[in-house]
């Protein structure tokens, strides 16, 4: 497992709502991702309402040494397209237990608070994950869609190993968080890391004769050593294109083009 690229499994299960449309094809994507050097598979209890975790276990269990399977709790799904933060400690514990069962493990490698629930004190939400860690049911704790202030408040309750925020060459609202995670040796895991139709990416991709997605991922890898992108796809072709980012070395001029606002 040598790549800093992970794999986001959300879209393998019918838009994140139900089981996969083609189960065998979805399992093939997961297995090929691991074969290509993906170091982390990213899922959540809410993806496919549990079906995503079950699919990952079916495809990859027993998990190869060095592979992290990261999952999350803290958003419930009252209906298709609905995502509602729910951070009550008893709910987070319940969902962790269900994830352990679905992933067929005794300890979750990396367990994120999927969203901070504004109706519940942050210390109670992170404290629930810390309790699970103390019991040996969680190895590392992560946060998602948070700012620096929230990260530091959470770190006063428990060690934080990873932060997963939306970030890409065309969406840089969390620049401060990237820099903070880099300085504090916290993994920064961008979700939705590949922009669509970005002229800067297209220009550099044409120069390199490389897929645009791979160029966008290469920019992230060059942006900070803390960054570990998790692009997702249902296509083996796109998966291979994404993984080709590891072979791209951007010049200073190309980085400057991509850095332009």
CA dist., res. 85 & res. 77, Å (int): 9
Q: Which residue has the tokens 């993984």?
A: 243
In the chain, what percentage of residues exceed pLDDT 90? Answer: 95
Provide mean pLDDT across the span 45-52. 96
Task: With beta carbons less than 8 A apart as the criterion, state whether 37 and 246 touch.
Answer: yes
State the pLDDT at residue 81: 87
| Whether pLDDT at 88 is above 90 | yes
For 185, the enclosing helix (H) or strand (E) is: none
User: Which residues fall within 8 angstroms of residue 170, CB to CB, at 6 or more apart?
Assistant: 195, 198
| Whether pLDDT at 87 is above 60 | yes
State the pLDDT at residue 2: 64
Structural domains present in the chain: 7-195+216-248 (3.20.20.100)
For 139, the enclosing helix (H) or strand (E) is: strand 138-144
Q: Which residue from 10, 40, 39, 5 is spatially nearest to 26, judged by alpha carbons? A: 10
Assessment of whether the complete model's pTM goes beyond 0.85: yes
Work out the pLDDT band at 141, boundaries 50, 70, 90: very high
Cβ atoms < 10 Å from Cβ of 251: 11
Q: Name the average pLDDT for the chain.
A: 96
CA dist., res. 191 & res. 195, Å (int): 11
User: Which residues fall within 8 angstroms of residue 53, CB to CB, at 6 or more apart?
Assistant: 43, 44, 45, 47, 71, 99, 102, 103
CA dist., res. 196 & res. 127, Å (int): 38
CA–CA distance from 184 to each of 155, 161, 177, 198 (Å)? 11, 10, 10, 31
Residue 167 appears among annotated catalytic residues: no
| Whether pLDDT at 169 is above 70 | yes
């Amino acid at each position: 497992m040598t790549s800093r690229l992970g794999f986001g499994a959300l879209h393998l299960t019918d838009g994140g709502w139900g089981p996969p449309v083609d189960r065998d094809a979805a399992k093939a994507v997961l297995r090929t991702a691991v074969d290509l050097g993906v170091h982390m598979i990213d899922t959540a209890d809410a993806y496919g309402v549990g079906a995503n975790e079950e699919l990952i276990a079916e495809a990859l269990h027993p998990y190869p040494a060095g592979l992290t399977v990261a999952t999350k709790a803290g958003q419930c799904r009252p209906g298709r397209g609905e995502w509602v933060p729910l951070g009550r400690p008893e709910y987070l514990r319940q969902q962790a237990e269900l994830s352990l069962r679905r992933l067929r493990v005794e300890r979750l490698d990396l367990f994120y608070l999927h969203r901070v629930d504004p109706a519940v004190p942050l210390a109670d939400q992170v404290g629930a994950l810390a309790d699970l860690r103390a019991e040996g049911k969680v190895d590392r704790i992560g946060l998602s869609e948070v700012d620096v202030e929230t990260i530091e408040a959470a770190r006063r309750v428990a060690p934080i190993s990873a932060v997963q925020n939306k970030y890409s060459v065309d969406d840089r609202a969390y620049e401060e968080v990237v820099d903070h995670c880099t300085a504090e040796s916290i993994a920064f895991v961008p979700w939705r890391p590949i922009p669509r139709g970005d002229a800067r990416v297209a220009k550099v991709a044409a120069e390199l004769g490389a897929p645009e997605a791979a160029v966008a991922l290469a920019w992230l890898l060059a942006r900070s050593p803390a960054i570990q992108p998790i692009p997702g796809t249902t296509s083996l072709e796109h998966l291979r294109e994404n993984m080709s980012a590891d072979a791209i070395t951007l010049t200073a001029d190309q980085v400057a083009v991509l850095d332009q606002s």
